[in-house]
Amino acid sequence: MKLLIVESPAKAKKIQSLLGRGWTVRACLGHVRDLPARKEDLPEKHCALPWARLGVNVEDNYAPLYVIREGKHKTIQDLKAAAKGAEQVLLASDPDREGESIAWHLAVLLGLGKEAQRVTYQEITQSALRQAVAHPRPIDYHLVGAQETRRVLDRLAGYGVSPLLWSAVGGNQSAGRVQSAALMLLSQREQSRLAFVPASYWRVTVGVDSCPPFRATVVALRDVPLATAASFTPQGELKPDVQVVQLDAGKAEQLKAYLERQWGVVQAVEVTPVTRKPPAPFTTSTLQQAANARLKLGAATVTKLAQALYENGFITYIRTDSPSLSEEAQTLAREAIQGRFGPTALPEKARQYATRSANAQEAHEAIRPAGKFLIPEDAGLSGDELALYRLIYDRTLASQMRDATGEKTSITLKAGQVTLHASGTRLIEKGFTVLYDDQEADEDEQALPRVQVGESFALRDARAEEKRSSAPARYTEGKFVQLMERAGIGRPSTYGSTLDTLQKRGYVTVRQRQLHVTPLGLLIAGYLMRQVPQLVDTTFTAQMERDLDRIAEGELTRTQYLDGVWKGNLAPAIERAGRTPPRVQVPHLDAVFEVRAGQVQVRAQGRSVPLPEGLLPEDLTEKTLADVLNGTFKGKRIKREASTKGKAPRKTRRTAGSSGKASARKGARSP
């Protein structure tokens, strides 16, 4: 018998059925060793060492102290027994740095030594598995070193900064490296929203009596542009270098009445071709973004659903920065397109896509249907899993279809001294959009007629509408995942867990699918920004990801890197940091949030009172603040929405089981 060790029971069951006789497939249930999470985890001989609780001996080249995770001793005993009787042991944890690290820990615990053999695969299909087990390789110690460096630095930063928060803020606060940088981005957006002063301006539109009719917008009076939202500063004032006409209600009504008695003369017509190329197949990040926008699923839920689909053989590996497809996948996609839409739906050659992420790491394929591209209707799935699989299937096929082509028309008219403008786009060849359209419809989009310069048309049905400039939009989970990827914060596998942690800690909450920072979140972000600015600096975090890539490629040693980033940067900052309770100005009110006796309070008018639970910064108006200060606030408790929509993901008809990595972390208390 040959032994293959994977991470989860669900994956083990599926692979056992595919490999068949001659193989024993067992699960290690995720991570088997880690740095000690509690004092009770320490081996007796290490208890007296001053660095043991930290789990890292900084003075000995950052040597980590690894212990078997709680609840894993029985698993290791069973794996040792299985390995002892096997003619060959293959380690088949996930094909990323974390998986490589798990394989190394298993090799150490099972006594496999440097002869340990590693296999990787992108999809759980019989052909992919047979190819993988036929070509094992040694463990990649550069990848292991990169993962170990990340774990060591996260421990040093977390255990270094979190006690500062315990002293300054109280409670069980945490300052993880990735979550702190993410919290700062959200906090900055929240602060800019709170400080924003909306400006008022008017928009006047009128119907043009052509065939077909369309609506045009007034853009200038006497060749001076009308004010738009872009004309104002965040303080609600006109930008000093902008020359515009700002209408008020009276002038807008006068203009409206004037236009209904006029004819519009066409001054210019511009028709330009439009080509829309299909979006690339999904990466981890783009899948989370699309599932959030289309299916209203949070990042953590998407990760759980996709993991179940992967482990049951429906899709390829879910942690990837790469949008590329193998030649086999391109061929399968093109065959499916031709069978469904005919040969005219295909471009001459298969499309290939390259990553645009500055910190792209994994040399995997995109997320796509596994095996023979099972159509969604035949997959035997239901609920959210079916919806997610269909999204992946459609996106994969669309990526190999023809471009959508059309034309954009812009028309400029004059009515006396009034300039009007209208634009519209129409698709002539729908191309990939018959299957997957990744653009939201513009509310002002309209079909425009063929007109000639000099033609005139009666104007009718003029409308005047007051508009207000808008504060920067809050992030949905999907949009924030996109921002984290662009900023280089974390890796695809961390986006969902980062957002989940911020919500569980009470730093961020979700309302109407948007991320809102709580008063506690603003205080934590403000404290870190003043005391340990490196930790919330996105460029620092992004550079770390690039340096980890260099370690993975053998260009940099872990000791060199950790000496520079820890001893030369973070450790001195932590040493200098104060423990004074933080205070944050409430931008839109004469008030501050502060911490007193471990409680988040609001201070105004010389008094400081506890904030009612669930009250967010944007809920505070002058009246609400007065009620809170006077003890007369009667608002209802505001419940937090879970990023998973409050429901566990629906299972496939096959038992999905539990994710080993997730379940292994349960109960571990770590800053």
> Is residue 566 within 8 Å of residue 57, measured between CB atoms?
no
The answer on 296 and 246 residing in a single domain is no
> Among 630, 649, 665, where does a domain finish?
630
CATH of the domain at 250: 2.70.20.10
Radius of gyration in angstroms for the set of CA atoms belonging to the chain, rounded to a whole number: 30
The answer on 255 and 223 residing in a single domain is yes
The answer on 615 and 498 residing in a single domain is yes
72 in any annotated domain: no
101 in any annotated domain: no
The answer on 318 and 303 residing in a single domain is yes
Predicted local distance difference test score (pLDDT) of residue 393: 97
CATH of the domain at 168: 1.10.460.10
Instruction: For residue range 465-521, list pLDDT tens digits in order.
Output: 999 999 999 999 999 999 988 888 877 778 888 999 999 999 999 998 999 999 999
- Long-range contacts made by residues 104-111, C-beta under 8 angstroms, separation at least 24? 104/139, 104/141, 104/144, 105/31, 105/32, 105/33, 105/66, 106/5, 106/28, 106/32, 106/79, 107/139, 108/33, 109/32, 109/33, 109/68, 109/76, 109/79, 109/80, 110/76, 110/79, 110/80, 110/83, 111/80
The answer on 519 and 388 residing in a single domain is no
317 is catalytic: yes
Predicted local distance difference test score (pLDDT) of residue 443: 59
383 in any annotated domain: yes
Predicted local distance difference test score (pLDDT) of residue 441: 64
> Is residue 1 within 8 Å of residue 23, measured between CB atoms?
yes
135 in any annotated domain: no
Token pair for 317: 């590996």
Residue 399, classed as helix, strand or coil, is coil
Instruction: For residue range 241-253, list pLDDT tens digits in order.
Output: 889 999 999 999 9
Predicted local distance difference test score (pLDDT) of residue 48: 87
Distances (CA, A) of 219 to 242, 265, 415, 417: 15, 15, 12, 11
139 in any annotated domain: no
Predicted local distance difference test score (pLDDT) of residue 657: 36
Task: Point out the residues of the chain with pLDDT beneath 70.
Answer: 355-363, 441-444, 635-671
> Among 341, 375, 398, where does a domain finish?
398
Q: How far is 69 from 438, CA to CA, in rounded Å?
A: 44
CATH of the domain at 324: 1.10.290.10
The answer on 569 and 453 residing in a single domain is no
Q: How far is 104 from 244, CA to CA, in rounded Å?
A: 66
Residue appearing with tokens 């990827």: 485
- Domain of 413, in residue numbers: 200-276+404-431+439-468
Write the DSSP symbol of residue 122.
Answer: S
The answer on 390 and 295 residing in a single domain is yes
Provide CB contacts within 8 A for 626, sequence distance 6+: none
> Is residue 564 within 8 Å of residue 156, measured between CB atoms?
no
The answer on 510 and 615 residing in a single domain is yes
Provide CB contacts within 8 A for 648, sequence distance 6+: none
Sign (positive/negative) of CA torsion 500, 506, 511, 515? Answer: negative
639 C-beta neighbours (distance < 10 Å), count? 10
The answer on 505 and 598 residing in a single domain is yes
The answer on 214 and 176 residing in a single domain is no
Residue appearing with tokens 């609600």: 236
Q: How far is 104 from 74, CA to CA, in rounded Å?
A: 19
Give me the catalytic one of 310, 317, 495, 527: 317
Token pair for 177: 């490296």
Q: How far is 163 from 597, CA to CA, in rounded Å?
A: 16
Distances (CA, A) of 235 to 196, 588, 614, 622: 6, 11, 28, 19
The answer on 346 and 240 residing in a single domain is no
Token pair for 103: 């394989």
> Is residue 593 within 8 Å of residue 602, measured between CB atoms?
yes
Predicted local distance difference test score (pLDDT) of residue 490: 79
1 in any annotated domain: no
Token pair for 79: 């794996």
Provide the domain count of the chain: 3
Instruction: For residue range 178-208, list pLDDT tens digits in order.
Output: 899 999 999 999 999 999 999 999 999 999 9
367 in any annotated domain: yes
The answer on 365 and 484 residing in a single domain is no
519 in any annotated domain: yes
Distances (CA, A) of 295 to 123, 124, 299, 478: 24, 25, 11, 11
Residue appearing with tokens 């939201």: 440
